Amino acid sequence: MHFITNKMQRKFLLTTLLTAIVLTINKPLVAWTEHPLLMGPAISGHPAWANLKSVEANSIEDFIQKNGKALEAFLQEQEQWSRNNLPNYLQRPDNLAFKAIGSRSEMRRNFLYAIRINPNVKLPLYIHLLPNEMVDDSIWADPAMLTTLSNIDVMKFTKYKWLQHGSLVSPMSVMISATDEPDYGFDLGLFQDNPNAFGPTYGFDKQPFGNPNLEYSSQAPFHMGFYHESGIIFAFAPFLKHTFVDYRINLFRGLSEFAFANNEPYWGWRFMGWAMHYLGDLTVPYHCKPLPGVSTWKMLWINLKAILGWEKDKIDAIQLVSNKHTVFEKFTWFELRKALYDNNLSHPLIQALKNPLPAVQWDIQFPYQVVSKQACEKAVVCNDALLAFMPDRLVNDPAIEVFNTVELDDLVHVVRSEKGQEAVDGLDAVIAERFRAFSMAMNSFLDYMLPYALGNQSEIITKKPNT
């Protein structure tokens, strides 16, 4: 690329293209649609469950009110730890520090502002049921009562069971259910330029990518982490560093440890599930690479042509990565839901979740150097599989907006009809590898957290966050 001679020109080339790419993150897509579908098979066989008693459900207001003063100290310690240990962390404004004062509703608001999640989140007592679990119709929960999202179409396929205050529930059910909650609005509208009253107060600056005026787009920087791009990418597109998935993992990990240490097992398991959600997001290549399958130099070439007036290649690249992301998630969700509904334990996706990759012990670098790194290494394989096994028009025709196609509603059938069962099997194989990585990450994190949950470490009460 000898013709790109000016440093500012090179910076503009990359910044323009990558900004355009991440601006496609505007649709209601998540890393793994419905995390509990993966969590159930992944952790249900863990031997720890046999030794754990049911826990008593209690509201977030009760938890905050009971532990108010201890929470003040803990959250201040946690904030200092984040400032000292997390790369590219944006500090919580000091005026948002939690104070255990006021009414129950005021303390709840103070807590949500202190942990910097959407203050409108609902956080009721409930359980997320898997497709092969049944419950009486009379106690189903309305999904609209669980989320702040305006689009709840995906949630309508799931059964939710209300819990009462004081209900006894298994720790596994609490944790599995909680792994879906961060997609119910936790991270919507938290940036300075989002159109609400609280975003400008949270200290996250302007939204680094995506459209700040679209509801779901603002979630993306909290659920993606670009840690393994080339030096030239980070040099000329530093906004890619402004992601906060590691902050969420460690914040909720710390809150889980705090809850267990203070005899709040229900919230210990629930906070743990929240942390696991963000960790699980990093196992998806599309959450670790802005443009899987396209080299840095090809990105430069595409954008150079755009600057010279030929924008078609850039527009096409943006649409294609959006389409691939969409079909990857939809196919996975359909395949896994059906396997669970049919109790098909021999399905390759179920088998993958039950047989994780070789264990890697959790430490503070685990999300960066294990989970995200593995996902990035598989990005090209994932991209190639989509090109080989998906109908060509869905992944290789930039004139199509896949999100709006009828094929998306019956995607597995479409793949099987047009490309054969071998295509379904090929896609399952690629997804299965990611599921094995997901299962390993979840089980490694669970193993790390179990001493806190079991309360069998003498240091548990005094242990500072994340040490």
Q: Can you list the residues of the chain whose pLDDT is less than 50?
A: 1-5, 23-26, 456-467
Report the C-alpha gap between 233 and 104 in whole angstroms: 47
- Predicted local distance difference test score (pLDDT) of residue 27: 52
pTM of this structure: 0.91
- Predicted local distance difference test score (pLDDT) of residue 300: 66
Q: pLDDT per residue over 22-67, tens digit each?
A: 544 445 555 688 999 999 999 999 999 998 999 999 999 999 999 9
- Predicted local distance difference test score (pLDDT) of residue 292: 82
Distances (CA, A) of 199 to 96, 138, 190: 12, 38, 4
- Predicted local distance difference test score (pLDDT) of residue 229: 84
Q: Nearest 5°: CA angle at 52, between 50 and 55?
A: 140
The amino acid that residue 74 corresponds to is: F
- Predicted local distance difference test score (pLDDT) of residue 138: 57
Report the C-alpha gap between 355 and 358 in whole angstroms: 9
- Predicted local distance difference test score (pLDDT) of residue 137: 63
Q: pLDDT per residue over 384-441, tens digit each?
A: 999 999 999 999 998 998 988 999 999 999 999 999 999 999 999 999 999 999 999 9
- Predicted local distance difference test score (pLDDT) of residue 460: 33
